[in-house]
């Protein structure tokens, strides 16, 4: 079983091989100014290098809060987050943005701008204030559009896009930062099934073709198990389990964390077959 040894600070696979984590949260206590109690209390959390890690759990379990901490958007009340063994708080804003891309759940941009103009905003870590796009910037924008399969939409205004196309445009913007680490907060929310899979397949392609490390918040545990190399299961602000989908997705997890009675099958592939909501006295 994949596990974390908190004393030696290493993560090992089921064969005992060390797994390198590019992003680590340790002894984390996360809270907002309006909260009297910690929203997240987690001894250790790992995002393995070169893998897709999906964060799963019910609403209010702390998934988005953890992503904000990992992306240096929410300073921990206690503990630290390290990117490549360096405290994220020690990075300058643009320096950090050249290392890690973060696509938040809530985002806003004028609907009259074009897709290419939106994607070009991802080049801000490399540009001086009020400077124009360089040849390198234009190449990065074209590459990001190509990777997400929306190069034909470059001159289209955001207001004219479907939900799935708009989500891919936002992902392209983060890709234009040209980082090795990408954090995505619920990129499939409000999308139909076709566009959910299109977004997830794009993420998997980026990981396999470009070696990008991805941490993504997903609501659908079946999709998370299919597209994730590792799962982080959260329950009420605490880490319930961490490991491969085959290790984490169990009938006990579904009952304890999601409040659902279900059958889990592993052949021919991992399947979750919900039966009913758990009955509580």
**Cα 115 to Cα 120: distance, rounded to the nearest angstrom:** 9
Structural domain boundaries enclosing 18: 1-99+180-195+209-253
Contact between 52 and 205 (Cβ < 8 Å): no
Both 89 and 144 in one domain: the answer is no
Q: What is the CATH number of the domain that holds 69?
A: 3.40.50.300
Nearest to 177 by CA among 230, 103, 273, 79: 103
Both 27 and 163 in one domain: the answer is no
The 10s digit of each residue's pLDDT in 236-281 is: 999 999 999 999 999 999 999 999 988 888 888 888 887 888 876 5
- What does each C-alpha distance from 152 to 79, 138, 155, 161, 194 come to in angstroms? 45, 15, 8, 12, 19
The 10s digit of each residue's pLDDT in 141-194 is: 999 999 899 999 999 999 999 988 999 999 999 999 999 999 999 999 888 899
Both 190 and 72 in one domain: the answer is yes
> Running DSSP on this structure, what letter comes out for residue 90?
G
Six token digits for residue 50: 């070169």
Instruction: Give the CA angle between residues 183, 189, 191 to the nearest 5°.
Output: 120
Q: Is residue 104 part of a domain?
A: no
Q: How many domains does the chain have?
A: 2
Question: Per-residue DSSP letters for 251-266?
Answer: HHHHHHTT-EEEEEE-
Six token digits for residue 76: 């921990």
Both 190 and 75 in one domain: the answer is yes
Q: What is the pLDDT of residue 3?
A: 46
Both 118 and 64 in one domain: the answer is no
């Amino acid at each position: 079983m994949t596990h974390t040894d908190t004393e030696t600070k290493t993560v090992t696979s089921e064969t005992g091989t060390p797994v390198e984590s590019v992003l680590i949260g340790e002894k984390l206590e996360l809270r907002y100014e309006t909260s009297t109690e910690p929203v997240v209390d987690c001894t250790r959390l790992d995002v393995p290098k070169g893998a897709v890690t999906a964060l799963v759990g019910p609403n209010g379990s702390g998934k988005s809060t953890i992503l904000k901490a990992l992306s240096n958007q929410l300073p921990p009340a206690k503990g630290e987050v390290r990117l490549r063994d360096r405290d994220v708080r020690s990075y300058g804003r643009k320096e950090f943005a050249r290392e890690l891309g973060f696509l938040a759940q809530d985002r806003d941009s004028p609907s009259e701008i074009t897709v290419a103009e939106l994607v070009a905003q991802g080049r801000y870590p490399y540009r001086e204030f009020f400077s124009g796009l360089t040849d390198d910037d234009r190449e990065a924008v074209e590459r990001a559009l190509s990777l997400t399969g929306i190069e034909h939409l470059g001159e289209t205004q955001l207001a004219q896009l479907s939900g799935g196309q708009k989500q891919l445009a936002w992902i392209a913007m983060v890709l234009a930062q040209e980082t090795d680490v990408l954090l995505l907060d619920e990129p499939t929310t409000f999308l139909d099934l076709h566009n959910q899979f299109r977004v997830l397949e794009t993420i998997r392609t980026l990981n396999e073709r470009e070696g990008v490390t991805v941490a993504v918040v997903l609501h659908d545990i079946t999709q998370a198990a299919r597209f994730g190399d590792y799962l982080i299961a959260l329950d009420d602000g605490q880490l319930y389990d961490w490991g491969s989908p085959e290790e984490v997705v169990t009938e006990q997890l579904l009952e304890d964390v999601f409040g659902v009675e279900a059958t889990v099958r592993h052949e021919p592939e991992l399947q979750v077959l919900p039966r009913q909501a758990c009955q509580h006295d």
